[in-house]
């Protein structure tokens, strides 16, 4: 496989009737076929990108040395992990893969909602993202994965230590991906306070939950449309504010909880509340592969993985490393990407004419288009970049019309070509 992300059907083939004459764009070399449904322009992959480093807020009182024993423990832990299916080995579903990559490049896009038929590889693809996640600096031993260079992502104890001038050990680690089980309790998600210890010893004894572990990482909710409403509300509050607050018996504790929210589900099992849908930056639709040869290839690749997972992963190491480098380059290149004022106005005009509530659609489309430009190695957003991402950014924000038979992604593309032509 030359690259994970191949060129898919252009929006011109999906846009109805009169739109086909308006879709002339610069051609991109074809990389692979895409059996699933996709909107907008072609997807990109396998591009070497080199850009400027992101400027950071520096804190001087930290130590970055890792002891040999710690290094050996990390290597041993990695060896003992359950083998994960490689992201590069997933056939098709390019729309879903692109949305996930763009969110890794720019976490501020706001996550992905993946909806589609059962057995289409939604969970497998999300969990395979773990290997591609870049390393980040964290304060060693801190339960909130505090960033030693960003006060907004620090727990209270780390912030106090830095103010006092104490030296903190800093290590580099992979971004966390936390799986939220459907049966999780609110205490397990938010964390618990030991009331007895607080009353007898006068200290705040807090046991961090999954939201603390997910800080500066990814929170994945499989079958999100089956999640209890009260847990959905907790996730919404944390996703909106970036903080989790636990209050018990007059004791209040807050900690940072900035995470990329990824959800997957089957529409047959029920629709999501509009409030929850709006919190997801992008929406990817996946469908069953209909091409017989591709189906055979998927079956054969899965059989190879089940037979010998380690050998299968080794066969995709080069492509995995190439994707890792591409993501790292795109993340560093992102701050230098610009978007013309004219294109910003047109994006907002599309949102306004589609009656999209609020401004999240405008913001996410701008961010996603910049991330795609960075992925391509360009310092400027093109209309083609916007055409690729705008259906995924807006389709789930449209008001539902029970009498409308046209797919919402097509409605977005139709309006896009009206405005951008």
Edge-to-edge strands, sheet with 168-174:
62-63, 168-174, 135-139
Measured CA distances, 365 to 99, 206, 257, 377, 389 (Å): 12, 39, 24, 18, 7
- Check if 360 is active-site: yes
Model confidence pLDDT, tens digit, residues 190-235: 888 777 766 676 666 788 888 988 888 889 988 888 888 788 878 8
Whether the pLDDT of residue 99 is over 70: the answer is: yes
Catalytic, out of 331, 360, 367, 395: 360
What are the structure tokens assigned to 216, written together?
């500066």
Three-class SS state of 45: coil
Model confidence pLDDT, tens digit, residues 343-399: 999 999 999 999 988 898 999 999 999 999 999 999 999 999 999 999 999 998 887
Least confident of 56-70, 114-128, 329-343, 347-361: 56-70
Query: Comparing C-alpha atoms, which of 281, 285, 240 is closest to residue 369?
Result: 281
H/E stretch holding 363: helix 360-376
Angle at 170 between CA 159 and CA 211, to 5 degrees: 60
287 contacts: CB under 8 Å, gap ≥ 6:
36, 37, 116, 117, 120
Query: Comparing C-alpha atoms, which of 263, 264, 319, 312 is closest to residue 83?
Result: 312
| Proportion of the chain above pLDDT 90, given as a percent | 29
Three-class SS state of 216: coil
Radius of gyration, alpha carbons of the chain: 22
| Proportion of the chain above pLDDT 70, given as a percent | 77
Model confidence pLDDT, tens digit, residues 234-255: 887 887 788 888 887 777 788 8
Domains detected in the chain: 82-133+174-296 (3.40.50.300), 332-420 (1.10.8.80)
Its pTM stands at 0.76
């Amino acid at each position: 496989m030359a690259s994970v992300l191949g060129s898919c059907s252009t929006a011109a083939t999906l846009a109805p009737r009169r739109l086909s004459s308006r879709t002339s764009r610069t051609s991109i070399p074809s990389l692979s076929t895409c059996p699933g449904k996709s909107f907008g322009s072609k997807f990109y992959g396998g591009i070497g990108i080199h850009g400027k480093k992101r400027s950071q807020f520096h804190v001087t009182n930290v130590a970055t040395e890792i002891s040999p024993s710690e290094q050996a423990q990390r290597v041993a832990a990695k060896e003992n992990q359950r083998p994960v299916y490689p992201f590069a080995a997933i056939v098709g579903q390019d729309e879903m893969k692109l949305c996930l990559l763009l969110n890794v490049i720019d976490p501020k896009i706001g996550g992905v909602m993946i909806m589609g038929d059962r057995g289409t590889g939604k969970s497998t693809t999300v969990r395979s993202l773990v290997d591609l996640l870049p390393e980040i600096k964290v304060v060693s031993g801190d339960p909130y994965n505090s960033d030693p260079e960003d006060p907004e992502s620090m727990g209270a104890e780390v912030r106090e230590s830095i103010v006092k001038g104490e030296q903190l050990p800093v290590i580099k680690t992979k971004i966390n991906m936390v799986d939220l089980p459907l049966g999780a309790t609110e205490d397990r998600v938010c964390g618990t306070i030991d009331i007895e210890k607080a009353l007898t010893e006068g200290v705040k004894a807090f046991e961090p939950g999954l939201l603390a572990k997910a800080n500066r990482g990814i929170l994945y909710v499989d079958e999100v449309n089956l999640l209890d409403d009260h847990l959905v509300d907790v996730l919404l509050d944390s996703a909106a504010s970036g903080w989790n607050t636990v209050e018990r018996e007059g004791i209040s504790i807050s900690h940072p909880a900035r995470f990329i929210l990824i959800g997957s589900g089957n529409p047959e099992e029920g629709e999501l509340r509009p409030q929850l849908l709006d919190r997801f930056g992008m929406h990817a639709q996946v469908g069953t592969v209909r091409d017989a040869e591709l189906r055979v290839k998927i079956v054969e690749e899965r059989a190879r993985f089940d037979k010998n997972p380690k050998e299968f992963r080794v066969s995709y190491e080069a492509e995995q490393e190439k994707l890792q480098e591409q993501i790292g380059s795109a993340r560093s290149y992102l701050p230098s990407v610009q978007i013309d004022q004219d294109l910003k106005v047109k994006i907002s005009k599309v949102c306004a004419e589609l009656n999209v509530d609020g401004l999240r659609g405008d913001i996410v489309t701008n961010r996603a288009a910049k991330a795609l430009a960075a992925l391509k190695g360009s310092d400027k957003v093109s209309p083609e970049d916007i055409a690729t991402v705008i259906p995924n950014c807006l389709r789930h924000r449209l008001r539902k019309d029970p009498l409308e038979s046209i797919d919402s992604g097509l409605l977005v593309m139709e309006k896009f070509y009206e405005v951008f032509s």
